[in-house]
Amino acid sequence: MAHGYKIIQWTPFKKSYDAALLLGVLVFISAYLVGALAFAPQGERALPIQVALRALGACAFSLLTLILLIGPLARLSPRFLPLLYNRRHLGVTCFLLALIHGALVLLWYHGFSDLNPFVSLLASNPSYDSIQGFPFESLGVIALLILFVMAATSHDFWNNVLGPNMWKALHMLVYWAYALIVAHVMLGAVQGEKSPLHAIVVGASAALIALLHVVAGWRETRRDTKLADAKNDGWLRVGPPNDIPNSRAHIVTPPEGERIAVFRDGARIYAISNVCRHQGGPLGEGRIIDGCVTCPWHGFQYRPQDGKAPAPFTERIAVYRTRIEDGVVFVHSDPAPSGEEVAPSVIAGAQQ
Amino acid sequence: MNRAQRRAHARLWPILVLVLLSVSAAALVAKARIDSAAIEAVAVLAGDE
């Protein structure tokens, strides 16, 4: 949260997450090296340095594919939420792998030129007007610059400085970086390969990412168009209180404004904004832990009665009035004045 | 995600899908041309011999 910053606030979960990440990277690169050096047909075997730089590039591409799969998967099923929690560690690792890949390319293919290696990389092939022989390296350079900006601003410090909306808009550049990398591989490595394996893997990865994003986006749009039943006086129908699982929420969509998460904590009913102040996480998909609504994305917490983060944190979200009438919960679509504590509705006859 | 972020995603993805499809198709056409040119060159060389 915004109260003081450390580079990484280590927890046992983060340590095991990063250990699994490191192991995965090592296994991927080792398998690629062994496969390409030991099993390639005679006459098609590349030099070890060429295989190494391709292994690093392939690993960075695979990691970026995984990173982009996590978002829609977590929206489609909460089982994938633990992967989302420390996704930025995957992003920084991906950038470092891509950087080493780029450095090796620069050294091996341009380090022996009379020109400055950077000039040689960007100027040696000017065929920008042709798909055949297109200077695919420049696409990789632009993608690497985007990944650098994202890795450099991945810390919560920058989220706080830029604001969640600007930060998110900046980090949506990752999709363009991915498109550039797909083009970089398709117009580069794939052109020189006899086997169609690279083209199939890259094409299938891009197709899977596009499909999952489109499906998850379609589901979200459908939710936005399925508005809660509204009375003329601004009260929205939520449903019977016991239909809301304990410590969890039902999410309702008002005609205007953000979604509202209606939580049940034992016999008490609270309503808060569904949007976390940190990165816009869906609070209604989280649960109440130690009396606080906990965001499923990164664990930010808010008290359901006034929307304030517990001290010493200072974030605050909107809270809404609720009422129970004839066994049905209603929530008012207008938020309560900022900072005001809203008394919960109590389910009659239920144990608190 | 808030409403604005969901809208941004909904606008971006159709464009990205088109970009990915176009790039992949163009790259595969280019590769097919290179491969067929290589086969023709081999055939010409074999004919010369």
Interface contact B9-A213, CB threshold 8 A? yes
pLDDT of residue B2: 81
Query: A258 vs B19: CB contact, 8 Å cut-off?
Result: no
Please state the domain extents for chain A. Answer: 12-224, 235-346
Give the nearest partner residue to A132 out of B1, B16, B33, using CB atoms.
Answer: B33
Residue B29 contacts A where some CB pair is shorter than 8 Å: yes
How many other C-beta atoms lie within 10 A of the C-beta of residue A163? 11
Distance between A279 CA and the closest CA of chain B, angstroms: 7
Q: Where is pLDDT greater, at A8 or B35?
A: B35
Residues of A in contact with B12 (CB under 8 A): 172, 175
Give the tens place of pLDDT for each residue, A51-91. Answer: 999 999 999 999 999 999 999 999 899 889 888 888 999 99
Classify A85 as helix, strand or coil: helix
**Domain spanning A235-346 has what CATH number?**
2.102.10.10
pLDDT of residue A350: 65
Chain B residues inside the 8 Å CB shell of A179: 16, 19-20, 23
Reported as a single tens digit per residue, the pLDDT across B4-30 is 888 888 888 889 888 989 988 888 888
pLDDT of residue A89: 93
Which pair of structure tokens corresponds to residue A71?
């978002």
Query: Do the beta carbons of residue A284 and residue A302 sit within 8 Å?
Result: no
Question: Dihedral (C-alpha) A273, A276, A282, A283: value to the nearest 10 degrees?
Answer: -70
| Neighbouring residues of A164: CB distance < 8 A, sequence distance ≥ 6 | A277, A278, A279, A280
Across chain A, which has 352 residues, the per-10-residue mean pLDDT values are 64 87 97 89 82 96 96 90 88 97 94 88 86 90 96 90 88 95 93 85 94 91 81 87 94 91 96 92 93 92 94 90 94 88 86 54
Rounded CA gap, A283 and A320, in Å?
14
ipTM score for this prediction: 0.79
Query: Which band of pLDDT confidence, cut at 50, 70 and 90, is reported for residue B39?
Result: confident
| In contact, A236 and A321? CB cutoff 8 Å | no
Cβ–Cβ contacts within 10 Å for residue A91, how many?
A: 19
Cα-based torsion angle of the residue sequence A22, A24, A30, A33 in order, rounded to the nearest 10 degrees: -110
Show residues of chain A in contact with B16, CB under 8 Å.
175-176, 179, 210
- The residue of A175, A181, A211 whose CB has the most chain B CBs within 10 angstroms, and thus the best one to mutate to test that interface, is A175
Q: How far is A249 from chain B (nearest CA, A)?
A: 16
Contact B27 A168 (CB under 8 A): no
Spatial separation of the C-alpha atoms in residues A243 and A347, rounded to whole Å:
12
- Return the residue matching tokens 């095991």: A16
pLDDT, position B9: 85
Instruction: Report the side by side order of strands in the sheet with A301-302.
Output: A287-289, A292-294, A301-302
Interface test with chain B among A76, A165, A184, A186, by most B beta carbons within 10 Å: A186
Tell me whether residues B16 and A175 touch, CB distance under 8 A: yes
Q: Is B39 on the interface with A (CB under 8 A)?
A: no
DSSP characters over A256-283:
SSS-EEEEEETTEEEEEESB-TTT--BG
Residue A255 contacts residue A293 (beta carbons within 8 Å)? no
Q: Determine whether the interchain pair A186/B9 forms a contact, defined as Cβ–Cβ distance below 8 Å.
A: no
Cβ contacts (< 8 Å) between B28 and chain A: which residues? 186, 199
Answer whether B13 touches A (CB < 8 Å): yes
Q: Which of B22, B23, B35 to mutate to test the interface with A (most CBs of A within 10 A)?
A: B23
Residue B4 DSSP SS3: helix
Binary contact (A282, B30; C-beta < 8 A): no
Closest partner residue to A179 (CB to CB) among B5, B20, B34 is B20
Q: Report the pLDDT value the prediction gives residue A11, as an integer from 0 to 100.
A: 81
Q: Which of B10, B17, B34 sits opposite A210 (nearest CB)?
A: B17
The Cα–Cα gap between A173 and A242 comes to 43
pLDDT value at residue A348:
82
Q: Alpha-carbon distance A238 to A219, whole Å?
A: 20
- Paired with A252 in beta bridges are A260
A217·B34 Cβ contact <8 A:
no
